[in-house]
Amino acid sequence: MPSAKPAPRFATWLLLGAAAVLLVSIAYAVSRGGAAPDAKTAAIPTATEPPSTPASIEARRARTRAAPGDSRAWQALGEAEFAQGAFGDAAAAFDRATRLSPDRAVLWSALGEALVMANPRDPMPAPALVAFRKALSIDPKDPRSRYFAAVARDLKGDHRGAIDDWFALLDDTPADAPWDNDLRRTIMQVARINKIDIAARMAAARPATPHPPLAPGFAPGAAIPGPDADQMRAAGALPPSQQAAMIAAMVDRLETKLRADPANVDGWVMLMRSRMTMGDRAQASAALKAAIAANPAARARLEAAAASLQVPAR
């Protein structure tokens, strides 16, 4: 893949991890006892149903109708819509929340992320970039916006600048942050694709910290730091079985997108990794078979990736 020009397909699939970040952090928060460390932020009202079921989403919509001026009600609705994969609806809810509380960086970064995920063609829509920049003007340390600002640099062809920004984010990332290892993975992947030597910098970085086990059969696979204390607290009541069901639905949607865009080799590798992480070895093997059938010229690369992931032989 040439380094002089950004790769739209790779960028799109790099960003697809956003859909799973909330679920990863939910599982991580629950495994550590549920509560996030920022106790100063008021909790979001929660529904009796899990936050992404149709009943709970309707309950959250009812709260926005009952209290249309409550930005946290709109935020809670946006988070539930996002977890369901209804990214356009999530963006609309977050947009309403930003209008009501324009001084909260987390709302702007959530809006930007939803706008990215809602656009099937442009990996960095202009309104999303505006939202991320607004978030950073309020809170320059907002990790989600910093991540996406670096993605924007990478999309413009400034791969070294993007990697510099991600390293800066890594320096500010707490050792136990759920996105720590995936941020490292992003840096290494972009560096490898663009033939940038980062060995010395990675060796000098703070050592990666192993995280506690997440939901059964699942480990972080997303590359985007996103959820804040509010989001983790709002979702912390989900039992592990419901977390696993939500994660499985996300991975199924990833496979559906791949069926529509079978030439995306990076996407197939992501799917194989997701299936193996979830313990679905047969489905990972099936993904390898489908990937090779759609991309025979990339057979060696796909088989090498499958071997590293320990995907069973077809």
Q: Is residue 106 part of a domain?
A: yes
**Token pair recorded at residue 140:** 């320059």
Condensed to tens digits (0 to 9), the pLDDT of residues 222-267 reads 333 444 444 444 444 445 555 566 667 777 877 888 888 888 887 7
pLDDT confidence bin for 313, thresholds 50/70/90: confident
pLDDT of the residue at 225: 40
267 found inside a domain: yes
Residues 69 and 160 in one domain: yes
Instruction: Give the residue from 204, 228, 251 where a domain finishes.
Output: 204
Residue 227 lies in a domain: no
Identify whether residues 180 and 288 lie together within a single domain. no
Residue 17 covered by a domain: no
pLDDT value at position 176? 75
Residues 78, 133: one domain?
yes
From the number of C-beta atoms within 10 Å of its C-beta (0-12, 13-18, 19+), residue 290 rates as: middle
Same-domain pairing of 89 and 173: yes
Query: Mind listing the pLDDT tens digit for each residue in 158-188?
Result: 999 999 999 999 999 888 777 777 788 888 8
Do residues 163 and 184 touch, judged by C-beta distance below 8 A?
no
User: What's the one-letter identity of residue 231?
Assistant: Q
Query: CA 60 to CA 62: how far, in whole Å?
Result: 5
Confidence grade of residue 107 (pLDDT, cut at 50, 70, 90): very high
| Domain match, 72 and 186 both | yes
Residue 160 lies in a domain: yes
Same-domain status, 187 and 279: no
Quick one: which of 148, 162, 189, 156 has its CA closest to 7?
156
Main-chain dihedrals φ then ψ at residue 306, nearest 5 degrees: -60, -40
Tens digits of residue pLDDT in 196-215: 999 999 999 888 765 443 33
From 204, 223, 247, the end of a domain falls on 204
Q: Are residues 146 and 278 in the same domain?
A: no
Asked if residue 285 lies in contact with residue 314, where contact means CB atoms within 8 angstroms, the answer is yes
Residues 185 and 64 grouped into a single domain: yes
Same domain, residue pair 305 and 263: yes
In angstroms, the CA 107 to CA 74 distance is 10
Look at residue 282 and tell me if it is in a domain. Answer: yes
Residue 142 lies in a domain: yes
Domain total in the chain? 2
- Same domain for 63 and 197, yes or no, is yes
| Contacts with 60 (C-beta within 8 Å, 6 or more apart), sequence order | 47, 51, 73, 76, 77, 80
**CA 21 and chain centroid, separation:** 4
Find out whether 195 and 3 touch, Cβ atoms under 8 Å. yes
Cβ–Cβ under 8 Å, residues 247 and 23: yes
Q: Name the nearest CA neighbour of 112 among 132, 96, 83, 139.
A: 132
Domain stop point among 204, 229, 252: 204
Q: Each residue of 274-301: pLDDT tens digit?
A: 787 777 889 999 999 999 999 999 898 8
Is the pLDDT higher at 208 or at 138? 138
Q: Tell me what pLDDT residue 7 has.
A: 41
CATH number, domain containing residue 295: 1.25.40
Task: Note the pLDDT tens digit of each residue in 16-67.
Answer: 443 344 334 333 333 333 333 332 222 222 333 444 566 778 899 999 999 9
Segments forming the whole domain that contains residue 198: 22-26+56-204
The answer to whether residues 114 and 247 belong to one domain is no
Give the residue with greater pLDDT, 175 vs 138: 138
Q: Report d(CA 186, CA 90) in Å as an integer.
A: 25
Is 40 part of a structural domain of the chain? no
**CATH at residue 72:** 1.25.40.10
Closest CA to 80 of 251, 270, 235, 244: 235
Q: Are residues 151 and 274 in the same domain?
A: no
DSSP codes of every residue in 65-106: HH-TT-HHHHHHHHHHHHHHT-HHHHHHHHHHHHHH-TT-HH
The better pLDDT of the pair 217, 291 is held by: 291
260 versus 314: which is more confidently predicted? 260
- Alpha carbon distance 247, 217 (integer Å): 11
Assigned token pair, 203? 């060796």
At residue 90 the predicted structure's pLDDT band, cuts being 50, 70 and 90, is: very high
Alpha carbons 160 and 15: distance in angstroms, whole number:
18
Dihedral over Cα of 149, 154, 157, 158: its sign: positive
